[in-house]
A and B are shown apart, each in its own frame.
Chain A
């Protein structure tokens, strides 16, 4: 069968019940989506399938023939990052970075679906994505600001949550 990954037609040899995550990582060498749990629990493997966010670990590749699959790599390369990717850099929203590919996909889908900059709504949209490092706050701030674009990537955003006493 065939699927389209980040705009490229790819032929898949794996059996149809193989999880899409496994196909992407082990057969096609698309390494952005991470195997955080392979059980639908962490969200690190999330990809867009025909524009909708899906856990690739729970998606049998045979159930999405000819689908357009977008991983975090497909949203933008280092020279051409999307607004959401830039926002994650500018807000320091990634620490170890392992949950980031799924977070950015979910945030992209949320914003493209017309999601607001309201913190509670963003938080609900991302609640199925586990991050152990950041405490989520910088992720929420990044997503809230992402639509504005034009980030200065030579620095990071001042935090409205911080007071510095010297």
Chain B
């Protein structure tokens, strides 16, 4: 029997069904310490004083780590993609979101660790907070980030991710209707059943073994190696069996601080976030703000699109510029629109920093574009299938940044759901194919965008 294509049972199915699968929280080592964090109670504040001396004397406390203990405090997780570092591993001068970690304590049990956290002396000066990214451009917007309220480092020094294609002005002049709408999906939780968890074990040969729930072992190992300034042969990441991720476990949330506490105490250190920390302190899916203005013909061709996207990064950049760039590449959805004017911004607010979640960068645009398509269909009195089939990506069409589509299936998937729900399509829509545009499928405004190249 061939394996590929077969409905084989999961490789790990029996382990899951019998409770034998070993997740990070199931790893047992001797003399393990437990971790609690001092987290910001404020959305935005300056740290005026931080003193752990009293906490260090508490019973059961083995190590406390603050910003002064981190060899490289601020490391850009996506510095390789040109996103500069901005987020300290532990807050030093200010806190930019409620729940931001300031110090971590390793102690013999979680109660002792929490008691020591409570004994840390800290003083804040509260600062004005911003939660609405539509106000990020306002003159009186609170300055949250040392870079300002808008991320300024696209391609080095731009504060906007742009797409420009064709001539939107001309498209809007030719359009029979210009339809605008605003789309605002909320922040939501990745919410894996396994909360963030890590365990760092100092080995006698000077290495550190880190048990991790990361979605990306080498990526997270790189993060720890950078903060600790260690070569990769000093670290061993153990993981690969994860109790759900959905993007949130691309963050390296516990591993680096466990490693620092383990270094300082010389003992294994575990940190399992409570469900409350997972909900309130871990990154969320980003809230987005999208404004779409489409110029359309009365029979349902989309001639041009002008789109503004604001992405709420929360207090730090994390992966947000990557997310907005990906978003920009897909802002036409599954359709071919020859005239485009897109501006995307990463806005800083005092929400919990946002990060990857399933569909990163595109879930937002799918909601905005498809709801907008439905509105256009309604406004024009055009069948929603026909509107989509008309404008659907086809072989030889080009993407917003000029890449030829090789095997688009928009027509196929639309036909499939139409068949399955008994939606009747009239000719020629019932006979549409993915093949290159010609005849009635190739109106004048799409002629210039076609690509005949075979190598994309």
Contact = CB atoms under 8 A, between A and B. Distances in A.
Chains A and B in contact, CB within 8 Å: yes
Interface string A137-166: 000000000000000011111100001010
Interface in B362-399: none
A155 B8 contact: yes
A130 interface: yes
Contacts of A154: 8-9
Given A39-B275, A96-B244, A155 B16 contact: no
B246 interface: yes
A34 B194 contact: yes
A16 interface: no
A24 to B, nearest CB: 11
Interface residues of B, number: 35
B26 interface: yes
Given A76-B18, A97-B16, A101-B19, A163 B420 contact: yes
Nearest to B416: A165
A100 B17 contact: yes
Given A36-B194, A88-B13, A89-B9, A96 B18 contact: no
A58 to B, nearest CB: 13
Interface residues of A, number: 49
Contacts of A66: none
Contacts of A20: none
A133 interface: yes
A106 to B, nearest CB: 14
A89 B17 contact: yes
Contacts of B25: 25, 34-35
A125 interface: no
B314 to A, nearest CB: 22
A98 B416 CA distance: 34
A92 B17 contact: no
Given A89-B14, A163-B420, A132 B192 contact: yes
Contacts of A56: none
Given A35-B25, A37-B275, A96-B243, A42 B193 contact: yes
Contacts of B8: 154-156
A76 B14 CA distance: 10
A131 to B, nearest CB: 7
Contact of A97 (B9, B15, B272, B274): B15
A104 interface: yes
Contacts of B146: none
A134 B331 CA distance: 29
A135 interface: no
A35 B18 CA distance: 16
Contacts of A97: 12, 15-16, 21, 243
Contacts of A155: 6-9
B246 A85 contact: no
Interface in A32-49: 32-39, 41-42, 44
B10 A130 contact: no
Interface string B187-198: 000011111000
B274 to A, nearest CB: 7
B194 A92 contact: no
B20 interface: yes
A92 B10 contact: yes
A61 interface: no
Contacts of B14: 78, 81, 89, 153
B242 interface: yes
A94 interface: yes
B67 to A, nearest CB: 30
Interface in A65-124: 71-73, 75-78, 81, 85-86, 88-90, 92, 94-101, 104
A85 B9 contact: no
Interface in B1-58: 6-10, 12-23, 25-26, 28
B7 A96 contact: no
A158 B7 contact: yes
A104 B18 CA distance: 9
Contact of A44 (B9, B21, B193, B416): B193
Given A39-B275, A89-B9, A73 B420 contact: no
B193 A99 contact: yes
Which of A35, A71, A75, A76 is the most central at the interface, judged by chain B CB atoms within 10 Å of its CB? Answer: A35
A132 B243 CA distance: 10
Across the A-B interface, the 5 shortest Cβ-Cβ residue pairs: A32-B19, A97-B16, A98-B243, A72-B19, A37-B275
13 contacts: A34-B243, A36-B195, A73-B20, A89-B10, A96-B193, A96-B242, A98-B194, A98-B244, A101-B19, A153-B9, A153-B14, A154-B9, A157-B7
